[in-house]
Amino acid sequence: MQTSVVSKQFDLGESLTKYATETLTKTVAKYFDRAISADAVFTKEGDFTKVDISVHAAANLMIQSHDSSPDVYKAFDEAINKLAIQLAKQKDKITDYNNEINDSFKS
């Protein structure tokens, strides 16, 4: 999976970039082992840092989450938690659909 972590209007620093890349990779791989790409964009807006995360999990499946907070790590953690919830829901939908298809062939 291709992962990118970028910032607009400020420098992220090496530790935050590494933390974001590892967390993003681990979270996406937990639900979709063959995801195409994941991107995290950090933007400074006044005293707040806005985090936008986009994951291209499958051919026609794009999942996004956003959060903002004065603490950049908190903003990222909240956005990644929202992303994990969405990834779990999509994984359940795909699994349920595949089970229905398999059951229809068995009948």
Residue 18: which residues within 8 A CB-CB, separation 6 or more?
none
Digit-coded pLDDT (tens) for 55-107: 998 878 899 999 999 999 999 999 999 999 999 998 888 776 566 666 666 65
| % pLDDT > 90, the chain | 70
Residue span of the structural domain in which 15 resides: 2-106
| CATH for 99 | 3.30.160.100
Model confidence, pTM: 0.86
Number of domains within the chain: 1
Handedness of CA 79, 80, 85, 87 (dihedral sign): positive
Buried b (16+ CB within 10 A) or exposed e, 24-56: beebbeebbeebeebbbebbeeeeebbbbbbbb
